[in-house]
Amino acid sequence: MKKYSDRQTTLAGSVPLKGIGVHSGDPAMVTLHPADAGSGIVFVGQDPESRAEVEMPAHWQAVSATALCTVLGDPKAGGVSTVEHLMAALRGLGVDNAIVEMDGPEMPIMDGSAAEFVDAIDQVGLRQLAVPRRYVRVKSTVRVDQGSAWCELRPYDGCRFDVTIDFDTPVIGRQNLVMDLTPDRFRRDLARARTFGSVQDVEKLWSMGFALGSSLENSVAISEDRILNPEGTRWPDEFVRHKMLDAVGDLALAGLPILGEYRSYKGGHRMNHSILVELFERAGADAFEIVEAPFEREAGAVKAPVKAMAAAVGQSPS
């Protein structure tokens, strides 16, 4: 089996994407650029008043809102909203470093999934860098409970997601999906899973000035007990697949790949962010460590990194 050095990666070239913002309904364009080792993922926008360039690290400490999507900073002052699908694509394909150049405050929603971001990344390819990849390794279980919903991060030799959703509508019901995250699995089983919602909820958001760009072109719409999209769903369990896609993107805001298992029940953006706060701020230094793996390993197999590094709790692990 092919072996390769477990090194950091970046994009092999720049690639643009354009679409509309799902909440504003305005045209939105983003260009993905290569970045140096240790840079992490950085969004670059512009303050609409001063026209000054604003750099926003893709990091849990920069999260300002999680109600409808994941928002970094203040979109009215150079921040960016709806980052989760791009972040999922970058983490799912193993991109450690990239610059995301924005032309406005919102990521393009594309078709409501991560598929077009994956296609763009595959179009330019990846370039390995001469620096070992680093990880956040979970050492002890941390958990967040919010009513009947809960999530937790547990020690695991690899990166696993175990996501369960439970909706009253029979169109969705209770669905569970367990997956060890690899680029191949992400491409095949998660990337094309679209966002979804009820027509009643969308109409309520429209009346509040949100979701103005939402349509059957970029979401799965549910009305009473049926799906309105003529093509139906891409999988019978597309709903839980999209929730897992969101979790991959939200947990990518750890700043480094996570070695551990993430489990959630009735989760969402808020809980995905809460578990990072719990891990880095509240659980204490014994809950995780920063490790690196500068050795060769078999493709598709995740081995425990061999070198542990000191990390200050709550600081950006970039």
To 5 degrees, how large is the angle CA 5–CA 318–CA 47? 130
**Tokens 């598929």 -> residue:** 115
Collapsing DSSP to helix, strand or coil, 243 comes out as: helix
The answer to whether 85 is a known ligand-binding residue is: yes
By the 10 Å C-beta count (0-12 exposed, 13-18 middle, 19+ buried), 63 is classed as: buried
Residue 166 to residue 176: CA distance in whole angstroms: 9
Catalytic member of 23, 33, 59, 269: 269
Yes or no: say if 30 and 17 are a contact pair by the CB < 8 Å rule.
Answer: yes
Residue among 226, 52, 48, 191 at smallest CA distance from 112: 191
Is 59 annotated in some ligand binding site?
Answer: no
Residue 269 annotated in active site? yes
**Over 250-281, what HEC string results?**
HHHHHCCCEEEEEEEECCCHHHHHHHHHHHHH
Q: How far apart are CA 186 and CA 252, in angstroms?
A: 14
The phi-psi region of residue 108 (left if phi > 0; otherwise alpha if psi is between -120 and 50; otherwise beta) is beta
Angle (CA) 253-254-257 rounded to 5° is: 105
Three-class SS of residue 136? strand
Q: Which residues are catalytic?
A: 269
- Give binding residues for Zn(2+) as ranges: 85, 242, 246
